[in-house]
Amino acid sequence: MAARVGARAVAQQRQQEALKLLGDGYGCTELTAKLADQWGCSRRQSRRYVAAAYAELVADFTEVEAADMLAQIINRLETVARKAAEQGQHACVIGACKLLAELAVTPHRSRTPAHFGRFGRSGSWS
């Protein structure tokens, strides 16, 4: 019984460490390999800890935090695109712009635009 309690404590500790590293910006694949090496466990077991930590991270994410994070990502991508353009790295500029479009423009394409002005809301002459 004591071994089971100890194993649960170790699992909880590893999940919390994985959660901290996810918050620091590590990707899941990179983190899985890092923690498997660090803890001396299999990648499969490390992946379980990372998956549990990721599920906890997503569950704690509110809509306000998501919007704030999206704004930070957009700002960072705009900075990357600007600096890459200054250095003549056109492929990086294209990549950053493509990702910006995917994050900011594509989700809003499915909405029908609301027409105002002389055409009214219906889009026809009133």
Q: Give the tens place of pLDDT for each residue, 57-72.
A: 888 777 778 888 888 8
The phi and psi torsions of 114 (rounded to 5 degrees) equal -90, 120
SS3 content of the chain, % helix, strand, coil (to 5): 75, 0, 25
Residue located via tokens 């609301």: 114
pLDDT of residue 111: 63
The three-state secondary structure class of 88 is coil
With beta carbons less than 8 A apart as the criterion, state whether 51 and 14 touch.
no
Compare 64 and 80 and report the one with higher pLDDT: 80
Compare 65 and 56 and report the one with higher pLDDT: 56
State the burial class of residue 11 (Cβ atoms within 10 Å of its Cβ: 0-12, 13-18, 19+).
middle
pLDDT of residue 25: 84
Percent of the chain surpassing pLDDT 70? 80
Cα–Cα distance between 97 and 93 in angstroms, integer?
6
